[in-house]
């Protein structure tokens, strides 16, 4: 029964996408770029559960659109008139919530926030039933959850698009904002040497995939036993090969950052894993991003962090607040990407 419904929903999404192309109505009518219009038509009605849901051309188009929205916000003030977006968050949020709410409000739409921190999705009511209700009221569902399966199950049962605003496996919107920020600072992400230092977590997964999509050389340095998921690594390497770049896994942060254009880190204890704090602290201490590590990368290198940061844990104050830090540019671009 569920398989039949999933097939029907997917067919409806494809029909909706084709209808937009036939009517010549791009998702953002005032954006004239042919590549962006083509991507908008292809992505109309589609979910974003993972960066791997997007092609390289679609990632580039999304970022191109994000840059234009940031430069010319007045041109998009009616782009989402009367559109309704619901944010259903199991985890606390500052940047993600405000970026989505401010973004849609600025474009003429409306955001509805549902706090799920005390009542995880699927606990009180089946996720499929939630999807069938919510799809009657809104145009898009944005989820921030503990389990990635919650997002994929919602997407499988919803007639409206579902967007992953963070799960335990990926953080695609963060990665898009990060790549947009790299493009702002370097002109292009293609050919850059990008190094992630720390836990091979959800943010790391999305960055590997997104970087590979744009032709960025990605190096990941993690402690033994904390490497990124092998399926993500395999997928990222396949994408990288097609785009003329590489994905490397190392366990030495010192050698990993040499020659890097960007050094990125995240907390070593993600939300929901607080019980591992004492165990992880000494393991990740050698992976702290400090002035000495940034010196290995060079003066040109920028420092990045998805925030919130645990100051003087995974990164020192001097780096986070220093001249190489672009963390608040990343935060701002969460709204535009």
Q: Please list the active-site residues.
A: 144, 171, 174, 266, 306, 334
**Pairing between strand 193-197 and 302-305?**
unpaired
Instruction: Report how far residue 96's alpha carbon sits from residue 107's, in angstroms, rounded to the nearest whole number.
Output: 17
The structure tokens listed for 305 are 């962090």
Q: In what order do the strands lie in the sheet with 162-164?
A: 110-115, 84-89, 140-144, 162-164
* 69-89 b/e (C-beta count within 10 Å ≥ 16 → b): bbeeeeebeebbeeeebbbbb
> Two tokens at 186?
């370097």
The conformation of residue 325, written as its DSSP 8-state character, comes to B
Sheet with 247-250, side-by-side order of all strands: 247-250, 217-221, 193-197, 262-265, 302-305
β partners of residue 264: 196, 304
Q: Which two tokens stand for residue 139?
A: 């145009």
d(CA 165, CA 103): 14
Per-residue burial over 154-178, b if 16 or more Cβ lie within 10 Å, else e, is bbbbbbbbbbbbbbbbbbbbbbbbb
Angle between the N-to-C axes of helices 56-71 and 327-336, in degrees from 0 to 180, rounded to the nearest 10: 100
Q: Which of 163, 203, 191, 138 is nearest to 62 (CA)?
A: 163
């Amino acid at each position: 029964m569920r398989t039949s419904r999933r097939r029907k929903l997917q067919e409806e999404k494809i029909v909706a996408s084709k209808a937009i192309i036939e009517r010549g109505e791009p998702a953002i009518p005032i954006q004239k770029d042919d590549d962006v219009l083509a991507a908008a038509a292809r992505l109309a009605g589609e979910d974003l559960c993972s960066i791997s849901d997007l092609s390289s051309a679609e990632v580039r188009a999304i970022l191109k659109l994000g840059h234009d929205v940031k430069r010319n916000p007045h041109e998009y003030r009616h782009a989402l008139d009367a559109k309704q977006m619901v944010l259903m968050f199991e985890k606390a949020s500052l940047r993600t919530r405000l970026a989505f709410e401010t973004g849609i409000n600025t474009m003429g739409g409306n955001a509805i926030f549902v706090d799920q921190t005390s009542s995880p999705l699927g606990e009180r009511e089946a996720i499929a039933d939630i999807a069938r209700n919510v799809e009657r009221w809104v145009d898009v569902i944005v989820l921030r959850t503990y389990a990635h399966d919650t997002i994929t199950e919602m997407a499988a049962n919803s007639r409206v698009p579902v967007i992953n605003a963070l799960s335990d496996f990926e953080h695609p919107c963060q990665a898009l904002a990060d790549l947009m920020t790299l493009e702002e600072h370097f002109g292009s992400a293609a050919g850059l040497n990008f190094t992630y230092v720390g836990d091979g977590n959800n943010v790391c997964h999305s960055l590997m995939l997104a970087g590979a999509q744009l032709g960025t050389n990605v190096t990941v340095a993690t402690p033994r036993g904390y490497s990124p998921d092998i399926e993500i690594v395999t997928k990222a390497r396949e994408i990288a090969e097609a785009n003329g770049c590489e994905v490397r896994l190392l366990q030495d942060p010192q050698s990993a950052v040499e020659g890097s254009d960007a050094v990125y880190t995240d907390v070593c204890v993600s939300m929901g894993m607080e019980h591992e704090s004492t165990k992880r602290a000494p393991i990740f201490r050698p992976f702290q991003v400090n002035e000495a590590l940034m010196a290995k990368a060079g003066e040109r290198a920028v420092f990045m962090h998805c925030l919130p940061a645990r100051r003087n844990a995974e990164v020192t104050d001097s780096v986070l607040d220093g001249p190489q830090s672009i963390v608040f540019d990343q935060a701002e671009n969460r709204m535009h990407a």
